[in-house]
Structure 1
Amino acid sequence: MPQETEGSIVNDYQQNNVTYLCMNVVGNKFGFSIIQVCSNNVVALKQDINFNAAFLKENVINYLNNLILNYRPSILLLSTKIRQDIYDEIERLLQQQKGKLNELKVRFLSWSKFDKKFLEQELKDSNNSFACMDENKNCKLLNKMMLVFNSGWDITCGTLSCVLQTIINDEKLVDQGQQKLEINNLTFNLMQFSDSFVLDDDTINSLQVLPSLYKTKVYNSNKRGCLSLYELFEKSVKSELGKQVLKSWLTTPLKTKDLIVKRLQIVKILVATENTSVLDQLSWSLKKIPDIYRLLSSVSSRICNKPHVWIALVKFCETMIEIKKIINLLDSAYRQGVLKDLHLAIEEHKFKKIMSKINKVFNLENSLKEKELIINTGVNKELDKHINFYNNLEVFLEDIAVHIRTGIINDINCAAKLDPTVQNNIKNLINVAYIPQIGYLISIDIEAKELLEIVQDWVFIFETPTALYYKNNDIMKVDKEYGDICGIISDYQIEIFHDVQTEIIQYKLFLRKCYELSAELEILKSFAETSIENNFKEPELSSKENKLIIVQGRHPIFENLVDSYIPNDISLIGSRFDDESWNTMFCRIALITGANMSGKTVFITSCGIIVLLSHIGCFVPAISAKIGIVDNILTRIKTSEGINHTQSTFYSDCQQMSKCLALSTERSLVLIDEFGKGTSPIDGPALFAAIIRQMSEYKHCPRMLVCTHYHELYKKKIFSPQLKGTIHLTTTIFVKKHKDGNEDNSTEVITFLYKVKEGISNDSFGLFCASLSGIQPAILNRAHAIVDAMNQGRNISEISNTVPLQELTLFKKNQKIVEEFLSWDIQLEDDNDIAIKEKLKFFLQKDIS
């Protein structure tokens, strides 16, 4: 059982942005909450998730992986009572993530800290800092949730309670200057997975949703540099929040039609020909938006005197006003969805007030040149007076120095004569200096040390290798009258900074809302630009019909890697979702056969990507697409391999298949590629056939696209073209017989057409694929002989026992050498070793025909 740990919060807080992720599993229920200290942002489930007990571990890891990818937490909080098998999987996941993202530190906390009673008590306690949360509308929502969801929110509420306790304890350990959580200004974002579904790691990898760290030669030679869906859109998403939200949309697609249609409607508006100018202007403006989260974090700090922060804040305000003017160019009928929300959110007078305040107080143009924040003249008369004094400080100090030198010269005239050199250079040897925090000082060159015998009532302060520093009564009067001028100026500046920061922070929620809506618009703008550039079309979605009809569908990544791409169609019409007798007249399973390298995997993944893109609100790479809303996309395409995977390939494939079958519903899409390999030629096909047969008779069968090379299942009549609920597709090829000079000898030359049509293939043409990969001709010839024998029903052992003529000739030659060697009586030979060796060499090298 893990033990409670504290962690090194001081080091954690020294990173600019600390993000806590707290999760817990109790029984089959899962809950989590996230707090981003930098932005005072809270993300939590709206209601605990109840998982299937058989796949609890896999689901928890799937959700955790998604949260790590999207929110990049720096600290993961777990209960000491977490199940050991779940923790083992978490540890394995973190090991896989190592090096890909920032290091995630795991801290174990007592299970008692996951009790929601702490949060309930803090919200009620009028003497606690949490009480002021009630004034915040977001925290009123939290209070309401505590009452409404009650038992349905226990675990998530417990994680929120735990993470808040942890932050309160941690912040006691850090320096006062570090960024801290503003508990009275928290913003709550509630995640409701009832409107979306989470892609698992297998699907993310199989559909190339997120980029891989390993960049291949293909990547470097590809002008577009795009090997993932994220990269396809990310090139026109510039804001940090936009990139984060894009990743979240791709890995958690929507499954509610109304929400999807709202996004599609915005993309449709932006791709319209009459709105081309608006799209171009939006693209130019949106990419100029700075990260308001970071700016507000800086403004919220104790002192914000960095010019670039205030310049960026003014730029943000100007850009937002600019965006509102661009949206105004649209016809009022087009101003809907996020366009309408952003248009209403951008209150121009507030942005102008923010800019006016900043420009009135700060001289941003000179600040940029001087690389320090300069306050305008006239903001504070006292500050101006002290700055003016500081600017003329050199003259003031010289006047005091002249007065002191005059007094010393008079004393010298009354005293014994000093070294003439000292008397002549007294102007250079005695000066008055100002040092911040120490004040005004008399500086005497170390060479004029004998002058100290003349002066009286001077107080020694300190010395350096070149000078001695003193104060006298005159200097002390100056200290008293003028004070520490730098300190005074700094105090006035800090007061002004604080006043401006306090006023700007009042607009924090307003600025965040505009930024978040602009990030959403930026992603939809990216969808529109990508759709125009790649000729994507609007999909037609249905919440009632179990169908997948794609005309001229393409793979959006692969089509940019080849010179020409052959689009394909598919038509799966599976009746209504609630039709339990669907397999009598309709089909939900597509069995795809065909030659190796003929495009089967690209075909099913292109279909999966088209479905995924339609569910994030993007147009799709097809002439048309009619898609029944899916609640999950599950895949068994790529085998999970790596040093952390100790299972066999077949066992890993079976795990993936088991998950697909257990988690799929009649609304799901399941993609399967060559399941059954890696075991015996009997077990693999038998298991595959049993799965397809059962799913074809299952009343809640999902839509399934399945590739296979098990042609024997058709030959042995286990599968037939009349298999219920199934359509049969094949990839087309052109086969040409090529004669090798001999009438009896010919080889097959295959041209891949990459076109999918109805039908069943009876050959995988694996040997042709092997020849293309460079396998030696002798091996291929032997393989062809074995295949021909099997197809003719001949005994394979006869083929295996047949010895080639070349081998037989060599065998007979070696046999004669051995016979002669055995008949050689070595005892009759001389004792001369050299002679024996020569005769032995003669036997071994003898050419016997």
Structure 2
Amino acid sequence: MSHEWILSASGTMRDTDHEEGLQDKGAVIANNDREANESDSDSEEDGSDMFSFDFDEEIVVCIDLSAGKLGCSILDYHTKTLQVFNQDYVVNKTTISSHDLIDDADSSANDISLLIGLLIMEVTPTICLVPVRLEDWIFDYVKTKCDEIKCRLELQPIKCFKKWNLLQSLQLRGHDNLTILNDILSNSRFTTTVTLGTIGCILANHEQHVQRDEYNDSTATNNMITGRQVQNTFEDVIHDITYIDIRDRMVLDENTISALNIFPTAHIGHDNMMRNGFLSIFELFNQVSSDYARRILKSWLFNPLTNREQIEKRYCIIRTLLDKQNAIIFNELAQSIKGCPDAFGFINQLRSGKSTLGTWTKVASFLEKGIAIFQLVSALKLGSVDGTILHDIKYKVDLSALKECLRKVETVIDFDASRDTKSLTLNTGIDNRLDECRNIYNHLEGILLDVAREAQTFLLNTLPQTDCKITKSLEKLVNAVYIPQLGYLVTVNALMESFLVNIPDLEWEEIFRSPENIYFKNDRVLELDETYGDIYGAISDFEIEILFSLQEQILRRKTQFTAYNILLSELEILLSFAQVSAERNYTEPQLVKNECILEITNGRHALYETFLDDYIPNSTMVDGGLFSELSWRKQNKERIIVVTGANASGKSVYLTQNGLIVYLAQIGCFVPAERAKIGIVDKILTRIRTQETIYKTQSSFLLDSQQMAKSLSLATEKSLILIDEYGKGTDILDGPSLFGSIMINMSKNERCPRIIACTHFHELFNENVLTEHIQGIKHYCTDILISQNYNISGTAQIKEDRESEGITFLFKVKKGISKQSFGIYCAKLCGLNRNIVERAEELSNMINRGDDVVQQCGKLTEKEMGEFQKNQEIVKKFLSWDLDLETSTTSENLRLKLKNCLR
């Protein structure tokens, strides 16, 4: 049952139950509005309408490895974009560096894992398709990655990867799309065989879902969709095709992403320091307002650039935004771009025919903000910014198209009235036919009131005079109503049915009845049907026609709007970069292509400094000559830094600080330093944080060694490797031996990458291993201040009044080697029991003096000797006690004698 508003003969409105079959009829007179039945729900306001296949937010990735080649394609249902590899990637050699890797199984496995892991982490798909013939170890790896992001992994039959003909059925528009499509098809036999198979699999998967939805749809016909229908389906979900090209990207593996805190993990702590600081680079720059801009930011963070020209274009935009001449416009631009709607979202809703008030509000907001942003960008002092986003906005965006569309939208839709009624309301004056129908509809209450009175008069004249009780209540019992699609009707209360049968020649045709009323057609309402017709339906038809015309005008501009949406999203990210750079006093780095250099003056940690009022900066200087110089060692160049120093003195922060400065420079952001000159890095590889989970049964040292092996095998002369205390998880001989061997071996490597490593293996720094004069290696140590109350040679404390007295950490790095880690002091500051700390200092003193620890620990102290002699006397007393003589002694007396014996 539903409720229907019915007009009474007196002109008042009342709520009455109506038959279930009329619940969708929209049956209100006088104040009924079509949009009242289509009010926007919260989910509609948020743009949550889905495709008919419920795929609007799906991201499908397909991965295949065949004949030593890796192929991949991605279908994003939100942006309607198909992304594909520009060529199959051979996996037994590096596909992203300048020379081949060592040709062995481990190297190939690392290469495959690196590529697949990066793709899955960056794209964050909802569905991952792989062939059933995929090797087990690759499948297990993909499954692990999918489980981490809660992505559904689906095995596909081999036949799906052979449906290349589906790609030929795509009907794409635009020169770029046709060029890429033709390129893929023409090169399919040579460079894109595997990738083409993944495209076919994605299209086949979509086709299967379409057929399943059509089959399950109760309103659909029983016929399966034809090839023509499938083709139209592809046209609905694929508008653009682009290449996935990782040749100009810096490679980051999951260890590096975790070690550098690129993306957030579980938050720790809730104090003010945690609330004011940032725990990840993503959080630091996540000042964007749209989900699409957030996705682009995530993609940028996963894929730092290696092309200097592309990076410097981003620098140029940041430099322009931060120019003092543009200060006011920069602030206005940052405010104007906030909350700019996602054009892909409302375009999808318009295409699906499920537009709501929320949809059109987003269209108007996008156009308004787009115009305002265009005007602000045009007012900027740009200088030389050819080829940048600012240049494209200023010279390639059609402002007249934006203004024209906004004018049409505001002309058609009355947003003020729509917000009041919470339904889509069209303006008056846009269509004479609509205005005329509305005018009739608005005066329908009076017309129906007249019809009701005529019916009352008729019944009053025909009913017998004896029924005076019924006669007096005719105004309440007889009404006239209008119900869309059924037309105009006279209603009589069911109580009068017995009287109506007594009226001779009553030419009223009963249409239907409800428990309370009987609905009739008579000559008068038939005349209204003829004169006015289904007025509500006519209004609805005219409104739909007008909205459809407006929708078509917007959709004709969809390519322009989505292209502008991408520019605005990228601009919002660069505005975030500029805001952080200004607030944190970042500086523009200098990038060089061919030099193996990392020169940083007073660099800071991008995340740690957000928690501190005063962060102590540090400088770094690595000059390894040219990348192409194989005899760099003979030129007295250095590519390796080994950092030593006390525990908790900042070595790990120093490592990640340098890694983040390089990383920020290559995502196109300024860096936290006074000056930075960086030779472009192709990979950042790390052995910093042990990746332990309950799913991994390996030991910590085994996991560390796997990370180390992966870093060394994938590194090129353009890479940066960060190593934090490798070898600490094994014994005191194997650990230092492995670390020292790695440093020596890499220092002799002609293609040695830049390496920053820290260690506590001080035994390595002697004349036979890691001396200060080894070619290719330079030594840094963290600086500390040691008070006069602390014994440097033996670490034994001479005088102590406070727990923290002894060492002051300066958190500064200087040249040289530190021979002590002050681990005992660090343990004391952490609250370890005083007795344990004192005993540890004693043992440390013995070792530093060269004493035989076993012999020294085997000697008894005077106190221990006294205890030993006392215990001997007790034993003698006990052994001399003849218990046979105590058979008659009571238990209490035995207890007293035993007590005396033990004294």
The 5 A counterparts of 1:6-25 are: 13-14=53-54, 16-25=56-65
Which of the residues 807, 825, 843 maps onto 2:898? Answer: 843
Deviations 1:455-478 (A, max 9, x none): 545555544443343445654554
The 5 A counterparts of 1:328-347 are: 328-331=378-381, 333-336=383-386, 337-347=388-398
Matched, 1:226 2:278: yes
Distance 2:621 2:900 in 1: 71
* 1:159 alignment partner in structure 2: 198
Distance 2:548 2:682 in 1: 50
- Measured after TM superposition, the shift of residue 811 of structure 1 is 5.6
Distance 1:778 1:696 in 2: 44
- Measured after TM superposition, the shift of residue 220 of structure 1 is 4.7
Q: Which structure shows the higher helix fraction?
A: 1
* 2:492 alignment partner in structure 1: 444
Matched, 1:538 2:588: yes
Are the counterparts in 1 of residues 188 and 196 from structure 2 also a CA contact under 8 Å? no
- Measured after TM superposition, the shift of residue 496 of structure 1 is 1.8
Matched, 1:417 2:466: yes
Are the counterparts in 1 of residues 877 and 901 from structure 2 also a CA contact under 8 Å? no
* 1:582 alignment partner in structure 2: 632
Deviations 1:607-627 (A, max 9, x none): 111111111111111111111
Taking structure 1 as reference, are residues 402 and 722 closer, same or farther at Cα in structure 2, changes over 3 Å only? same
Taking structure 1 as reference, are residues 181 and 471 closer, same or farther at Cα in structure 2, changes over 3 Å only? farther
Which of the residues 70, 93, 102 maps onto 1:30? Answer: 70
Distance 1:358 1:264 in 2: 38
Distance 1:457 1:765 in 2: 109
Distance 2:471 2:901 in 1: 116
Matched, 1:261 2:312: yes
- Measured after TM superposition, the shift of residue 191 of structure 1 is 2.0
Which of the residues 779, 788, 791 maps onto 2:845? Answer: 788
- Measured after TM superposition, the shift of residue 693 of structure 1 is 1.1
Counterpart of 1:51, as a letter, is: V
Matched, 1:82 2:129: no
- Measured after TM superposition, the shift of residue 339 of structure 1 is 1.0
Taking structure 1 as reference, are residues 111 and 810 closer, same or farther at Cα in structure 2, changes over 3 Å only? farther
Deviations 1:151-194 (A, max 9, x none): 22222222122112221221233378999764486112322111
* 1:127 alignment partner in structure 2: none
Higher alpha-carbon deviation: 465-474 or 243-252 = 465-474
- Measured after TM superposition, the shift of residue 199 of structure 1 is 1.4
Counterpart of 1:494, as a letter, is: I
Q: TM-score, normalised by structure 1?
A: 0.90
SS of the residue aligned with 1:734? strand
* 2:23 alignment partner in structure 1: none
Matched, 1:93 2:145: yes
* 1:776 alignment partner in structure 2: 833
The 5 A counterparts of 1:293-442 are: 293-304=344-355, 306-331=356-381, 333-336=383-386, 337-413=388-464, 417-418=466-467, 420-442=468-490
Higher alpha-carbon deviation: 190-199 or 457-466 = 457-466
Deviations 1:664-700 (A, max 9, x none): 0000000000000111111111111111111110111
Are the counterparts in 1 of residues 326 and 381 from structure 2 also a CA contact under 8 Å? no
Counterpart of 1:757, as a letter, is: K
Matched, 1:697 2:697: no
Matched, 1:110 2:157: yes
- Measured after TM superposition, the shift of residue 407 of structure 1 is 2.3
Taking structure 1 as reference, are residues 392 and 195 closer, same or farther at Cα in structure 2, changes over 3 Å only? same
Higher alpha-carbon deviation: 661-670 or 287-296 = 287-296
Are the counterparts in 2 of residues 630 and 667 from structure 1 also a CA contact under 8 Å? yes
Counterpart of 2:852, as a letter, is: N
Distance 2:880 2:486 in 1: 112
Distance 2:237 2:262 in 1: 38
Counterpart of 2:278, as a letter, is: C
* 1:3 alignment partner in structure 2: none
Distance 1:149 1:219 in 2: 57
- Measured after TM superposition, the shift of residue 352 of structure 1 is 1.2
Matched, 1:625 2:676: yes
The 5 A counterparts of 1:156-235 are: 156-174=195-213, 182-183=235-236, 186-212=239-265, 214-217=266-269, 220-235=272-287
Which of the residues 857, 864, 869 maps onto 1:800? Answer: 857
Are the counterparts in 2 of residues 22 and 162 from structure 1 also a CA contact under 8 Å? yes
Which of the residues 531, 544, 549 maps onto 1:494? Answer: 544
Deviations 1:71-117 (A, max 9, x none): 332222221112111111222223333xxxxx422222112212263
The 5 A counterparts of 1:228-247 are: 228-235=280-287, 237-247=288-298
The 5 A counterparts of 1:51-66 are: 51-52=91-92, 53-66=105-118
SS of the residue aligned with 1:85? helix
The 5 A counterparts of 1:501-516 are: 501-516=551-566
SS of the residue aligned with 2:841? helix
* 2:36 alignment partner in structure 1: none
Distance 2:416 2:127 in 1: 40
Q: TM-score, normalised by structure 2?
A: 0.85
- Measured after TM superposition, the shift of residue 774 of structure 1 is 0.8
Taking structure 1 as reference, are residues 583 and 20 closer, same or farther at Cα in structure 2, changes over 3 Å only? same
Taking structure 1 as reference, are residues 331 and 659 closer, same or farther at Cα in structure 2, changes over 3 Å only? same
Counterpart of 1:578, as a letter, is: S
Unaligned runs of 5+ in 2: 1-49, 93-104, 221-231
* 1:146 alignment partner in structure 2: 185
Are the counterparts in 2 of residues 92 and 644 from structure 1 also a CA contact under 8 Å? no
* 2:39 alignment partner in structure 1: none
Deviations 1:788-837 (A, max 9, x none): 212222212123324455566556556655555555555544578xx426
Taking structure 1 as reference, are residues 647 and 475 closer, same or farther at Cα in structure 2, changes over 3 Å only? same
Which of the residues 765, 773, 786 maps onto 1:714? Answer: 765
The 5 A counterparts of 1:427-826 are: 427-455=475-503, 456=506, 458-472=508-522, 474-475=524-525, 478-479=528-529, 482-584=532-634, 585-715=636-766, 717-738=768-789, 745-746=798-799, 749-803=806-860, 820-821=877-878, 823-826=880-883
Counterpart of 1:146, as a letter, is: L
SS of the residue aligned with 1:78? strand
Deviations 1:358-385 (A, max 9, x none): 1222222222222111122233333222
Distance 1:280 1:732 in 2: 42
Distance 1:288 1:527 in 2: 18
CA RMSD for the aligned pairs? Answer: 2.8
- Measured after TM superposition, the shift of residue 296 of structure 1 is 1.3
Deviations 1:28-68 (A, max 9, x none): 42222221223212222222222345244444444444444
Taking structure 1 as reference, are residues 597 and 64 closer, same or farther at Cα in structure 2, changes over 3 Å only? same
SS of the residue aligned with 1:152? coil
- Measured after TM superposition, the shift of residue 275 of structure 1 is 2.2
Matched, 1:48 2:88: yes
Counterpart of 2:249, as a letter, is: S
Are the counterparts in 1 of residues 143 and 153 from structure 2 also a CA contact under 8 Å? no
Are the counterparts in 1 of residues 685 and 721 from structure 2 also a CA contact under 8 Å? yes
Are the counterparts in 1 of residues 315 and 669 from structure 2 also a CA contact under 8 Å? yes
Taking structure 1 as reference, are residues 776 and 815 closer, same or farther at Cα in structure 2, changes over 3 Å only? farther
Are the counterparts in 1 of residues 728 and 735 from structure 2 also a CA contact under 8 Å? yes
Counterpart of 1:160, as a letter, is: I
Distance 2:767 2:174 in 1: 74
% identical aligned pairs: 34
Taking structure 1 as reference, are residues 398 and 701 closer, same or farther at Cα in structure 2, changes over 3 Å only? same
- Measured after TM superposition, the shift of residue 712 of structure 1 is 0.5
Distance 1:494 1:160 in 2: 38
SS of the residue aligned with 1:244? helix
Deviations 1:646-681 (A, max 9, x none): 111000000000110010000000000000011111
Taking structure 1 as reference, are residues 219 and 18 closer, same or farther at Cα in structure 2, changes over 3 Å only? farther
Taking structure 1 as reference, are residues 579 and 412 closer, same or farther at Cα in structure 2, changes over 3 Å only? same
- Measured after TM superposition, the shift of residue 228 of structure 1 is 1.1
* 1:283 alignment partner in structure 2: 334
